[in-house]
Structures are given as structure tokens and as C-alpha cells.
Amino acid sequence: MKQSQLFGKTTYEIPKDEQSMNAQLLIRGGFVDKSMAGVYTYLPLGKRVLAKIENIIREEMDAIGGQEILMPALQNKKDWQTTGRWDIDVMMKVKTFFDKEYGLGWTHEEVVTPLAKKYIRSYKDFPFYLYQIQTKFRSEKRAKSGILRGREFSMKDLYSFHTSEEDLNKFYDLAKDAYFKIFDRANIKNKTYLTYASGGDFSKYSHEFQTVSSAGEDIIYICEKCNIAINKEIVENNHPKCPKCGNENLKEDKAIETGNIFKLNTKFTQAFNFKFLDKKGKENLVLMGCYGIGPSRLMGTVVEIFNDKNGIIWPKSIAPYQVHLVCLGNDDNIIKEAEKIYNSLQKEKIEVLYDDRNESAGVKFKDSDLIGIPLRIVISKKTLEKDSVEVKRRSEDGFKIIKADKAINFIKMNQES
RNA sequence: CGGGGCGUAGCGUAACGGCUAACGCACUUGGUUUGGGACCAAGGGACUCCGGGUUCGAAUCCCGGCGCCCCGACCA
């Protein structure tokens, strides 16, 4: 992609109506644009990051047997009334000219449960796992923290269906592992803790995945022995205690809830009377679990964690491009050399953003720092004289000089490592 | 939803109740530049959030609304 054609612009002015680091950097870098409080447009750069995150999630969900579907965001009132959740305050409602009301989905149990019921009768069809990546709407009383808490946001939600508690438990653990793989691939696993949180009224706990960050809205207590945490919301009498080993020497931290997994058991299958026939031909209620992770929130979390005073530092796995090719000077020879490398990189299917703009070196460097692509290649009069290019990692100081004819190979190797 | 702050060009800001609403960035044109936010020259761009009031006169004061940020409450 030539940067001169890229829709979206970097800016050095900090938007005055954004305090959160993730929103400031993402807006300044041209990744997102705020449409209204808690509602953002993803510009080409931001959309690429989001797509990468979604693909990682997709791969890990497929790996544990998930089947991707897409449910509607616009939902019927009746099913929400069935579960008694129509009049919940996070529910957004739309009304037509003829006064017909619909709900905008903030979660999808009310769609997926009737859906499954329609197709499934026999124990032979179990277990199965349906997921989607979709836009959710929640009427947050106060949107805040940039893309971390929006009123419209992207969400992957998986629902699992089982004939027994053992089976549900087995899959629950599998999903837990899959989530850690996702966090690992997004480079935030070492800051992410499986966290015990409120289980509502049908189980003692749910599990959250909490990623330690000063931008977090939750307080967690980490047990460094067990490598798990407990959410402040379920701490009794101000005495945090590890729910696993009883350790009381826990570390308090702020954290972002990056994921949540939940055993729903029969809460929704009961409401919709979703039963299956077992081997003996007897009817039983189906058991369910749900597993959520927000790609957009994950994106914001990564920005909160990986940045410095100059901008974002994307992990390779979710960077919008792998290589930022920066061409300094508009001398014909320099441009020719830059184009040559640009074409070679494209031929090698290496994602490259090529800064071909007629801007000063300072502007290009600052923009490159801000956008935060992992690897930067600089071509200039200086490098041309030495028949070489300059290679710099965004995450490190300093740079390497590499002979021009070896550059492509070097970058290819760098991609694989 | 309670408390606080704020709405002026695309963005960031300025302007005592009084001249044609000013400046920087961005944008357009021409020229010179190109290793860390370049320079010169010439331009275009505003219903000062909306509605009402006070006043000879309102961006400025008052009332109402809407929007945005922060704190709190809320948050499967």
C-alpha cells in the first residue's frame, strides 16, 4: 500500500475529547475515527488490525471445533421477553415508524438457543459449538476509555451445547486454553490472568480473563503462586484470598477484562424449553456455556500496553503491515530503488506500507513511529551511496545497515522468526 | 443517571458586552527544500452547537435543549 493513497491521516494534535491513551494514539495514527461517544469508525489501518485479531480468534475457535455462523443484530422482542431480559438497561431498542419494536443484540443467547432448538433433537448431535464475530450494542450509561468500552463494538461469542455437566466442563477447560492461545498470539499472555469473578445466580464463579493495565476498570488480586487472580467484586470482607490455594499475600492491580467464559448450564435452555432425547428416549434439558472476547477491546488493550512516547508498538501478529518502507528524498534514483524494494516485498507477499509521500524526513519518521509497524526500512541518499538499506525494529533502538540485495531475504527471515 | 468541566474553520486554540471573529496546524497554487514535526509567496475555508431571552449592540450575560470529556454509580 502506498501511503500517499492511504485513507486516513496522522495528526500531531491530541484530540481534546479523548483522554484515554488507546483512543489518542489510534486517532492520531489514523486507525479509528470517533463518530460519537463510544462509537468508532475503523479506518483502513485500524480495520486491518481488527481483521488480524479476528482471524487469530477464528483460528483458535475453529481449532477447538467451533463452527462460525452469523446471527442478526436486530432481534425480536418476544424471545427477549421469554428470558425476561427485554427491559434490562443495557438493551438498546429501535422502533419503526409503525411502532414495531426490535432489540439490538448485546449478547446472543436469545437467538442461538431457539436456533439450536430448531435443528437439534437427539443426543447424537451433541456436543456442538457455534460462534460468531459480530457487532454488539450496549447502552452503556457512560462510554469511556476509547475503544475499551463502547456502545457499539465487535465481539466474538461462542456458545457450547452439551448433554452432560462433564462434557460441559471438559469443553470449558478447552475453551480456557484456547483463550490463552489467543492472548499469547496477541503478545499479552504474560499480563493476562484467569480471574475468578461473580457467577451470577447459577454458579459460584465465572472466569474472566483480566489483562493488567493502568487503563483497566477492574481491580484484581493476583496470586503469583497459582498464576490466577480474583476480581475485587467477589472479595469478601476486604480480605482477598486465592480461591485455589488460600494464599492471602496477593498483588493488587488494575486490569482490563479482555475475555469472559461462563457456564450457563440450563438457564437459557430452560427458558426456551430446549431438550434432547437421550439413549433411553428420555427428554433432558440441554446444558450451555458461553465464551466471549471482544476483538476491538483486545485491540485497545494492546495499544494501552505496547506504546511509548512516540506512538504505538504493534506486535507482529496483529500489526496492520509488517514492513514500513520509508523513502527519504525525491531524487529519481532513490525513488527507483524504493519502488524496486516495494515491488519485491509485494511479490514475496510481505505486507508493506510504502511511504512515498513528498514529506520531510522528520514527518516520515514521526509518522512511522506513531503508526508503529514492527519493521522499518529506510531508503535514502545515504543508504544508496552504500548500496544498502537501513532496517530498524520499532520495538528497539538503533538500526542495522544491510546490503540492498540481501534486504528482501533478511525481511523474509525476520517474518518467519 | 448524580457531580464537575467544556462546545468558536477539518484539528488545536484566541478574542473586556463594541471595528470585517484572530492565530497555529491541515488544505489549494507556485517556487526552494529532504536523515527527526522545512521555508518563502499567494489563496480558499466560520449560521461562534441549537432554540429562546436581556441589550443600541452577544462568541461573550441569562434560561432551556443537545453534544463531548472527567469522577462516581452501573457493567454475563
At A5-36, the pLDDT tens digits run 999 989 988 888 888 999 999 999 999 999 99
Through-space separation of residue A26 CA and nucleotide B14 C1' in angstroms? 28
CB A321 within 8 A of CB A373: yes
CA of A364 to C1' of B44 (A): 27
**Which nucleotide's C1' is closest to A9 (Cα)?**
B26
Residue A15 (CA) to nucleotide B19 (C1'), in angstroms, measures 34
* Whether the predicted pLDDT of A41 surpasses 80: yes
Q: How confident is the model at residue A126 (pLDDT cuts 50, 70, 90)?
A: very high
| Protein residue with the closest CA to the C1' atom of nucleotide B38 | A360
Amino acid A206 CA to nucleotide B61 C1' distance, rounded Å: 56
Task: Return the nearest residue to B37, CA–C1'.
Answer: A363
**A214 by DSSP, 3-state: which?**
coil
Nucleotide nearest A328, CA–C1', reads: B34
pLDDT in tens, A234-277: 888 889 999 899 999 999 999 999 999 999 999 999 999 999 99
Has the ipTM of the complex gone over 0.85?
Answer: yes
- For A74-191, list the strands marked E by DSSP: 74-76, 92-95, 101-104, 128-137, 152-162
Residue A142: which nucleotide is closest by CA–C1'? B74
CA of A400 to C1' of B28 (A): 40
Query: Cell digits for A110?
Result: 436469545
- The pLDDT-based confidence of A414 (bands split at 50, 70, 90) is confident
Using C1' positions and the CA of A138, the closest nucleotide is B75
Grouping H, G, I as helix, E, B as strand and the rest as coil, residue A257 is strand
Please tell me which residue lies nearest to nucleotide B72, judged from CA to C1'. A142
Strand B nucleotides, any atom under 7 Å to a protein CB: 1-2, 11-13, 24-26, 33-38, 67-76
Residue closest to sugar C1' of B7 by CA: A17
Band (pLDDT 50/70/90 cuts) for residue A85 is very high
Whether A58 contacts A133, CB under 8 Å: yes
Using 50, 70 and 90 to split pLDDT, how confident is the model at A200?
A: low
Q: Which nucleotide comes closest to A380 if you measure CA to C1'?
A: B35
Give the pLDDT band (50/70/90) at residue A96: confident
- The residue type found at A155 is M
Q: Give the long-range contacts of residues A296-299, CB within 8 A, separation 24 or more.
A: A296/A40, A296/A50, A296/A147, A296/A150, A296/A153, A296/A154, A297/A147, A297/A148, A297/A149, A297/A153, A297/A256, A297/A258, A298/A53, A298/A186, A298/A258, A299/A22, A299/A46, A299/A49, A299/A50, A299/A53, A299/A147
Looking across all nucleic acid strands, the nucleotide with the smallest C1' to CA distance from residue A218 is B75
Q: pLDDT at residue A416 above 90?
A: no
Question: Hey, where are the domains in chain A?
Answer: 3-308, 321-416
Measured CA A109 to C1' B41 distance, in angstroms: 65
Spatial CA neighbour of A371 closest among A12, A6, A30:
A30
Which nucleotide is closest to A28, CA to C1'?
B11
Taking all residues of chain A, what is their mean pLDDT, rounded to a whole number? 94
As a CATH number, domain A321-416 is: 3.40.50.800
For the CA of A36 and the C1' of B66, the distance in angstroms is 13
The C1' atom of B25 and the CA atom of A397 lie apart, in whole Å, by 29
Query: A261 near A196, Cβ under 8 Å?
Result: no
Average pLDDT over residues A315-330: 96
What is the Cα–Cα distance from A6 to A25, expressed in whole angstroms?
A: 18
Percent of chain A residues topping a pLDDT of 70: 99
Distance A354 CA to B29 C1' (A): 27
* pLDDT-based confidence at residue A201 (cuts at 50, 70, 90): low
Q: Which nucleotide is nearest to A390 (CA to C1')?
A: B35
Q: Which CATH class is domain A3-308?
A: alpha beta
DSSP single-letter state for residue A273: T
A151/B47 CA-to-C1' distance in Å: 32
Asked if A253 contacts A241 with a C-beta cutoff of 8 angstroms, the reply is: no
- Which residue has the closest alpha carbon to B1 C1'? A141
Distance of A217 CA from B72 C1′ (whole Å): 13
Q: Which nucleotide is nearest to A14 (CA to C1')?
A: B12
What average pLDDT does the segment A382-397 reach? 95
Residue A17 CA and nucleotide B50 C1' are separated, in Å, by: 20
* CA nearest to nucleotide B73 C1': residue: A141
